Amino acid sequence: MYFMLQNSNLIDKAVLISSSGPTETNKMDRSAWRYLRYPIIDKIILWSVNFYLFKNTYKKKLFYNEKLISNVEIEEVYKPFSKKENLISQAIYQKKLDWTYTGHEMEKIKRALVIWGDKDEFYPIEMIQSFHCERKIIHNCGHLPHEEKPKDFNESVNDFLKR
């Protein structure tokens, strides 16, 4: 989103998925990543990441319908997270996130489509109101509409880009 704001002359249209960016993200994020900002808690979180926890979070928190994702797919997504150096890099990145700048600039983003799952466990659906552009809510869908409901997602993106 920061790139969009800094380079709006280069971007004709953009699609945002269950997007962070509004200032509310700092307060409304329901994921464990937000706790990485706190010393000691960050280490507990990083050292507790394992395949079982990852699989459970992916199936129960990221997807609304856990039957739509297989263990094989989850194993593939988990591979980078199984390396401690990747987790440490993710933690450093997450600790530095502050949505204050983009939150104050949200009204400038007009040529975008925001797609949100109505059952998103991490970012509540109310956050979509912060976006002053076209919005699409995909029903019975969690945090990853492009993975959980690819047909609905692709139709929405195609319709938006054709206009």
Residue 7 domain-assigned (yes or no): no
Most confident of 4-8, 35-39, 47-51, 90-94: 47-51
Mean pLDDT of 115-139: 92
Q: Is the per-residue pLDDT at 87 higher than 90?
A: no
CATH number at residue 104: 3.40.50.1820
Residue 79 domain-assigned (yes or no): yes
Phi-psi region of 120 (alpha: psi -120 to 50; beta: other; left: phi over 0): beta
Residue 3 domain-assigned (yes or no): no
Q: Look over the chain and give the mean of its residue pLDDT values, rounded to a whole number.
A: 89
Residue 9 domain-assigned (yes or no): no
Residue 121 domain-assigned (yes or no): yes
Flag the least confident range among 7-16, 113-122, 142-151.
7-16
Q: Is the per-residue pLDDT at 26 higher than 80?
A: no
Domain of residue 124, residue span: 22-162
The Cα 156–Cα 96 span in angstroms is: 32
pLDDT over 70 for what percent of the chain?
Answer: 100
SS3 (DSSP) at 149 = coil
Which helix (H) or strand (E) element contains residue 112?
Answer: strand 112-117
Residue 44 domain-assigned (yes or no): yes
- Is the pTM higher than 0.75? The answer reads yes
Domain tally, the chain: 1
Note the pLDDT of residue 47.
86
At 106, is the pLDDT very low, low, confident or very high (cuts 50, 70, 90)? confident
Note the pLDDT of residue 95.
80
Note the pLDDT of residue 114.
95
Residue 86 domain-assigned (yes or no): yes
Residue 16 domain-assigned (yes or no): no
